[in-house]
Amino acid sequence: MNENEIRGQIRDGKTALGLEFGSTRIKAVLIGSDHAPIASGGHTWENRYENGIWTYSQDEIWAGLQDCYRELAEDVRKKYGEPLTTVGCIGFSAMMHGYLAFGAQDELLVPFRTWRNTITQEAAEKLSALFGFNIPQRWSIAHLYQAILNREPHVGSIRYLTTLSGYIHWRMTGRRVLGVGDASGMFPIDSATGDYDARMMKLFDEAAADRGYDWKLADILPQVLPAGCAAGVLTEEGARLLDPTGALRPGIPLCPPEGDAGTGMVATDAVAVRTGNVSAGTSIFAMTVLEKPLSRMYPEIDMVTTPSGEAVAMVHGNNCTSEINAWAALFSELLELFGQKPDFGALLTALNRKSLEAEPGCGGLVLYNYLSGEPLTGLETGSPLLCRGPDSRFTLANLMRAQLYAALAPLSIGMRILRTEHAAMDRFMGHGGFFKTPGVGQRYMAAAMNCPISVMETAGEGGAWGMALLADFAANRAADEKLADYLENRVFSRMQTATMQPDPADVAGFGEFLARYEACLPVEKAAAALV
């Protein structure tokens, strides 16, 4: 579209807006009728570790959202000379799982417990055994049951339990709903009904019955909605909360809120059976839309759904790029000693490219990027750790390749299971910040997975763009049109895709690194216990 066409769509509300709360960045993307981004905004934030809990405050949530939207509106004004007063549809997405519990006066009963917390092992193990279904520690139901086991006094006062995206959507519309993909990280979903699994709901209520709470699980969980459903409209209060200037008008329809796993699937056209994607940013997770059920339950595999409800095997690593960013910040500080102030994005790109000069096996280095625990390798807590022997080649290139390999190692360990299950995939797509430097992250991902990895030209746009597509789908879908068909035929049919095959030398080098990585896990466990 040309600029005049874009201006007309902005004035007429023919756009769609997606906003996503990532772990380190809140991002907004506005798209036009051709589904391409026309404006964006962002806000950087960071979780805090307080009283043994990884959390964000409510003030941080709303200040971050407003700043992100303000930056988006300013981008629209600068590029097109138009005020942003309306859009065709809005969608909110956020990091999945976690624990946001509210009382009768809509008050937050305890600080937000994010997905990053690994404090629910007892509950996760008991629920997994009770259900015959893997319940990871970060799931909302594990947090709830752990609070019950701990006899936390707030549990009896709960009137609503939701995720971050569900919380934002509730405040925007007044509706307590959640997209099925995000809901599948709160409690298991029955793909046949598209709702919470009724058998497991009954088992949970029976397990909690002796505590005497005046609620059942169905009373406090959000209503589940598939992609494409109407999910309320922006209220006057919601409009002012999003845009305190008052320029944004109420009455805009909203689509079901979703989790970052679902928006990652949408952003990579990976919602159909036999497709898969990997999302790599602060955390890392691979999603495979299953053609048939797995043969049994695996504690390393989460069973979730696409935004339209199909069963998905998810391998989730808690840690990915944060430690890479920390080392880049250290190098930036070093350069400042010499009077230089490098652009952080350019510095990251240069460091990533430097890794291409490294030895395939990283010169004998082994590195752990565990800022938090890593269930895929059995660690409840983590501590970043770099190990090298006296004969290791400690060069910048080897260090950076070890950083990038370490970001992929837990995922590679988890994906072994799907290979043994022969989970068929016609294509595997990558997206997220890990892939921003062309030819680097994609190359190492292909080596770690030992399979071709494709990256689209929109790989850096991430989940906010995927959420904008879900908003557009809700606003403009044809009768009975499926999400997979909408993406395949309307969005991605002309999208440029680059596919990289695994390099045998890289595969061997990653295997060498991974063998050291697994052998030294007891060292990392000891470090995490002592630091």
- Contact in structure between 492 and 459 (CB atoms under 8 Å): no
Q: 């979730």: which residue's tokens?
A: 304
Q: Is residue 151 predicted with pLDDT exceeding 90?
A: yes
The residues spanned by each domain of the chain are 268-319+413-500, 322-406+504-530
Please determine, for residue 458, whether its predicted confidence score (pLDDT) is greater than 70: no
Do residues 46 and 24 lie in contact, with contact meaning Cβ atoms separated by under 8 Å? yes
Q: How confident is the model at residue 531 (pLDDT cuts 50, 70, 90)?
A: confident
- What token pair was written down for 215? 């609620």
**Per-residue pLDDT for 195 more than 70?**
yes
The Cα-based distances of 391 to 6, 333, 341, 364 in angstroms read 59, 28, 34, 8
Give the confidence band of 136 by pLDDT, cuts at 50, 70, 90.
very high
Read off the pLDDT of residues 344-376 as tens digits, 9 standing for 90 and up.
999 999 999 999 999 999 999 999 999 989 989
**Domain 268-319+413-500 belongs to what topology?**
Nucleotidyltransferase; domain 5 (3.30.420)
pLDDT at 161: 98
| Lowest-confidence segment of 318-332, 351-365, 382-396, 419-433 by average pLDDT | 419-433
Mean pLDDT of 383-392: 95
Q: What is the pLDDT of residues 276-315, one digit of tens each?
A: 988 888 889 899 999 888 889 998 899 999 999 999 998 9
Task: Give me 305's structure tokens.
Answer: 């759904």
**This prediction's pTM:** 0.83
Mean pLDDT of 423-429: 79
> H or E stretch including 500?
strand 497-500
Q: What is the mean pLDDT of the chain?
A: 94
**Distance (Å, rounded) from C-alpha 392 to C-alpha 375?**
29
The β-bridge relationship of strands 311-317 and 302-305 is antiparallel
To the nearest whole percent, how much of the chain has pLDDT over 90? 82
Q: What is the pLDDT of residues 58-113, one digit of tens each?
A: 999 999 999 999 999 999 999 999 999 999 999 999 999 999 999 999 999 999 99
Residue 208 in this model has a pLDDT that exceeds 90:
yes
User: Is the model's pLDDT at 425 over the cut of 90?
Assistant: no
Single out the residue of 116, 12, 102, 17 nearest to residue 65, CA to CA.
17
Alpha helix stretches (DSSP H) within 245-343: 260-267, 322-337
- Position 465 scores a pLDDT of 94
DSSP state, 481? -
State how far the Cα of 29 lies from the Cα of 471, in Å rounded to an integer: 11
Q: In which band, very low, low, confident or very high, does the pLDDT at 431 lie, cut at 50, 70 and 90?
A: confident
Instruction: Report which DSSP code applies to 128.
Output: H
pLDDT value of position 460: 52
Give tens-digit pLDDT for 211-264.
Answer: 999 999 999 999 999 999 999 999 999 999 999 999 999 999 999 999 998 998
* pLDDT bracket for residue 380 (50, 70, 90): confident
Q: Give me the pLDDT at residue 375, please.
A: 84
pLDDT digits (tens, 9 = 90+) for 21-39: 998 899 999 999 999 999 9
Q: State yes or no: pLDDT of 494 exceeds 90.
A: no
> Beta partners for 40?
29
Residue 409's pLDDT is 97
**pLDDT higher than 80, residue 461:** no
Task: Mention every residue, 6+ apart, whose C-beta is less than 8 A from residue 281.
Answer: 22, 23, 24, 320, 321, 432, 433, 434, 462
Q: Give CA separation, 345 vs 320, 341, 355, 396, in Å.
A: 17, 12, 16, 18
**Do residues 380 and 118 touch, judged by C-beta distance below 8 A?**
yes
Burial of 143 (0-12, 13-18, 19+ CB in 10 A): buried
Report the interhelical angle of 3-12 vs 58-80 (nearest 10°).
Answer: 130
Q: Are the CB atoms for 192 and 206 separated by under 8 Å? A: no
- pLDDT tens-digit readout, 161-170: 999 999 999 9
